[in-house]
Structure formats: C-alpha cells, structure tokens
C-alpha cells in the first residue's frame, strides 16, 4: 500500500469493575496498532478521579508494567494516533483531559471535524482556553460547555453542532461514553466482556480479548456505561456515509464490518478487478500485506497463479530512528525485497490497494523489473483518488494526488508499468456487496457527504504556487451533498 495514505486513529474503551482495565485497554490498543503508530495513551477512572498516561511511539513502547499499575480504576479508554489536525507532538497525544465545571473529562477521537475552526472560535469567545491544536479538544470543550442538564441533552447539542467524522470515547470519573457521528463515517463496535462492556474501533480488538461482539454503534448513537448499567440513545439523525476505505485498506482483514469479514471482501475486490482489467500474465503478486487478499482474489478469478514475489519488512516505519542519507537512498528496498527466482522472465500482475502520490508505486515497479520481471501490469483495488479526504485520512492535498492531476495513461507512464487498471466505483460497490448510499466515496467522486467549508478546500488545495484560475473554479464549485 502506498505509505502516503494513512489512517487517523484507533479508539478503545472498557467498563469492567473488578478487572485490570488498564491491561485490557493496553491489549485492545495493541490490536488496533495498525490504525495509528505515532502516539498512544490510556486514561482510567475509579469513581473519584481520572488517571492518564500518554506517549509517543507504538503501544508497546509507550507502556510498561509500571505505567499500567499507575492506571487504577474500573473503566478506561485508550487511543492510538496518527496526526491529522494538530502536529506530531507529544502534547497532541490522546486521550486528552480537560477540566470543566462538570469535572474532569478525558476524550479520544478518531476522525476529523470539518467545522472545528468555527466551533473553536465560538468557544474562545465564551472564554474557553485551549491547550492543544487538536479538534479533539474542541469536541471535548464543546461537550462540557453544551447546554443541558443531562449527558443526553449535551450530546444532542454537540452532535447538532459538529460536522465531520468522529468515533469518540469519553471518560469521566463516573462513566464511560462512546459516540459515533451521524454519518457513521468511522467504525465503532460494542462488545461484552465477562463482567463488563467494551467499545473498539474494530472487532479484531474484541476477538483478541475474548469479548463477545454485540453490535456496531449506530451512526448518531451514544453509548453510556456506568454504575446504572448500559444506556444508549440516539443523539442525531442518522445518515450513512461509512468510509469505504475501511474495506479497501484500513481495517484489519480479520475485522468484521457490517457483518462482513474484511478479508473475503478484499478477495472480492481483486476478483472484480480481474473481470474489469484482465491481463496476459504468468503470476499475480500483491503489495504486502494489505493487497495480499485482493491478489489472491485476482488470481482465483483469472486463473493466473498467485505467488509472494515481494517480502515486506513489517517493522520498517515503526521506529523513531531517522535513516541517514545512505539508508534513505535504498528507498523502497528498506520496506520490500523481491524474490528474483519467482520473477525472472515472468509477466507479473502487481495488485495494490491504492495509488495516492505514486511515490512508492513507481519504485516498486522498477524493483520488480530489476529482479527479472519481463512485464509489470499494475492493478489497483480502488478507483482513482481524485479529491482529498476531509474526514481524518491523511492523503495530502489535491495537488499531491496523482489521479487528480494526470490521466490513467499518464499515471501508467509515470510509474513505468506495462498496463494500469483501477477498479471502477460500481465494481467497488458490487464487490463490497452493500448499498452504495451507505458509503462515503468522496475521494473518488469529489461528492462530500457533508458540506466542506471553502476555507478547508483552500487548505487542501495548497500549495498556492502554480495554482491557476481553473483550480480556483474547481475550488469554488466543489460539489457537496448536503444531507439533513
């Protein structure tokens, strides 16, 4: 997969009196590590106060036994993070804790709020002082400052004002709450643990903990766990726009979304791709590991044998030791190593999940040729990404998206492949097997499920240098589907 397409975060929460909730949260986050590798954090509560430990790095780098022992209580929330809004700083690690008239509150957020600048300035006018640059703090402050005598009233007001993508875990000294935005853009599921409840971004976290999957948290729904038991309420009108990239790339293949296991969905994407873009070839290989299932699907549909022609060093990119110039020049070889004996003289179908900036794709194609491949036919299990994501997926600006600026033939030439085929939007929907109106497809179509402020479009269209009038027209007419 292109390393330039990155997930924003993973969230987890557990309410389980009598259990070691810090340890449960640690292992929950460990299962969600693929969703964010920049920082991690756990907040716990014992009915009197909150405890917090956050740090930069992988979950296993941030926490040791001693840290977990300083996180007492019967409920906890956890977070793994990639930076979206707010830069890559330890102070932006989550969960964040804020103090308010309602008491302390910790919050972890997956997604991105498109109107956070407006909400932030409204709150500043009310006298709220912010300590981070994240939209997560905006959400937390908007929640504790919302009018209402009950959490239900506050959440209802918050969800009416927030626009964008958010799966949230929130902890007070007395309760754990989890919420999913009215689009249901980011995943969030509910499970039952012996003597308690868990919420997590993906079902794979429940599986590792031996928790029973109950159901997905509905779009616009809030789940509240406390000494009074489990309470759920709908705080906003639901209108689905689930991020289809969860099926294509982000979610772990052993997770289940909308009752569909991700791995066979990815196989179906590969099979559909083989129907739409067949190739005369000798072997199919997938860019490990996210495209492996799709490559198997392509192989089964086409009858061309699947081989593992590329081996991935799974731990590259998970270190804070910066490579020196010599190591940097090794480029994609640091991450992938081809198997020449399997490639020599072969016509290869190379399956990947996406091309974002194409900074990796060309070097991988060239690596396969150097390893002996006679032809390289690139096949992509997503449609061309032509528009930026405003909902928490870091894919850069429209200027950086190669498919936003070049034709398929120009991209083929740029990456040096013998042929290039992208899955169609209709083929993608057919392979996933769920109704089209359940999904956000904005990065493929430019049609956003909620209006995106013009100011934000401008940011996504940077850099300004070289921008011409045509680009401003696109910017001003960016299509949006306004949903009630």
Residues making contact with ligand SF4 (CB under 6 A): 185, 243-245, 389, 391, 393, 440-443
Which one from 9, 204, 440, 443 is the annotated catalytic residue? 9
Least distance between ligand SF4 and beta carbon 439 (Å):
7
Least distance between ligand SF4 and beta carbon 167 (Å):
12
Pick the closer one to ligand SF4 by CB: 84 or 136: 84
Least distance between ligand SF4 and beta carbon 238 (Å):
16
What is the rounded radius of gyration, in angstroms, for the C-alpha atoms of the chain?
23
Pick the closer one to ligand SF4 by CB: 419 or 424: 424
Told to judge if 204 belongs to the known catalytic residues of this protein, a careful annotator would answer: no
Least distance between ligand SF4 and beta carbon 449 (Å):
7
Pick the closer one to ligand SF4 by CB: 15 or 444: 444
Least distance between ligand SF4 and beta carbon 450 (Å):
11
Least distance between ligand SF4 and beta carbon 357 (Å):
15
Pick the closer one to ligand SF4 by CB: 279 or 443: 443
Pick the closer one to ligand SF4 by CB: 322 or 482: 482
Pick the closer one to ligand SF4 by CB: 73 or 182: 182
Catalytic residue numbers, as ranges: 9
């Amino acid at each position: 997969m292109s390393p330039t397409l990155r997930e924003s975060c993973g969230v987890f929460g557990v309410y389980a009196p009598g259990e070691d909730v810090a340890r449960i949260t640690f292992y929950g986050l460990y299962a969600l590590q693929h969703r964010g590798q920049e920082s991690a954090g756990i907040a716990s509560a014992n009915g009197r106060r909150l405890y917090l430990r956050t740090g930069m790095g992988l979950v296993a780098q941030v926490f040791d036994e001693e840290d977990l022992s300083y996180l007492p209580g019967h409920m906890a929330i956890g977070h793994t993070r990639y930076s979206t809004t707010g830069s890559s700083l330890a102070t932006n690690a989550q969960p964040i804790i804020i103090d308010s008239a309602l008491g302390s509150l910790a919050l972890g957020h997956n997604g991105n709020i498109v109107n956070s600048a407006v909400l932030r300035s409204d709150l500043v006018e009310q006298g709220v002082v912010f300590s981070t640059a994240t939209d997560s703090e905006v959400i937390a402050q908007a929640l504790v400052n919302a009018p209402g005598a009950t959490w239900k009233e506050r959440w209802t007001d918050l969800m009416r004002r927030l626009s964008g993508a958010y799966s949230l875990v929130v902890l007070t000294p007395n309760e754990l709450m989890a919420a999913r935005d009215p689009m249901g853009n980011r995943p969030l599921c509910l499970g039952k643990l012996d003597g308690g409840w868990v919420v997590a971004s993906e079902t794979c976290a429940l599986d590792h903990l031996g928790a029973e999957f109950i159901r997905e948290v509905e779009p616009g729904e809030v789940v509240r766990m406390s000494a009074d038991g489990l309470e759920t309420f709908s705080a906003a009108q639901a209108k689905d726009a689930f991020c289809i990239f969860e099926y294509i790339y982000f979610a772990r293949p052993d997770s289940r979304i909308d009752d569909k296991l991700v791995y066979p969905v990815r196989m179906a994407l590969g099979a559909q791709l083989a129907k739409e873009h067949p190739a005369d070839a000798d072997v199919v290989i997938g860019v490990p590991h996210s495209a492996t299932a799709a490559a198997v699907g392509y192989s089964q549909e086409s009858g061309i044998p699947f081989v593992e022609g590329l081996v991935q060093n799974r731990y590259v990119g998970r270190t804070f030791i910066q490579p020196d110039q010599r190591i940097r020049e090794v480029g994609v070889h640091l991450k992938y190593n081809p198997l020449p004996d399997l490639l020599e003289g072969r016509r290869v179908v190379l399956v990947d999940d996406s091309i974002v900036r194409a900074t990796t794709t060309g070097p991988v194609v060239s690596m396969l040729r150097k390893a002996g491949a006679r032809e390289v036919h690139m096949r992509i299990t997503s449609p061309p990404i032509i528009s930026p994501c405003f909902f928490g997926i870091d894919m850069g600006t429209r200027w950086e998206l190669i498919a936003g600026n070049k034709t398929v033939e120009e991209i083929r030439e740029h990456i040096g492949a013998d042929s290039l085929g992208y899955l169609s939007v209709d083929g993608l929907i057919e392979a996933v097997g769920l109704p089209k109106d359940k999904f956000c497809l904005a990065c493929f179509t430019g049609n956003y499920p909620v209006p995106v402020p013009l100011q934000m479009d401008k940011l996504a269209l940077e850099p300004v240098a070289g921008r011409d009038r045509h680009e401003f027209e696109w910017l001003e007419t960016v299509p949006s589907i306004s949903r009630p």
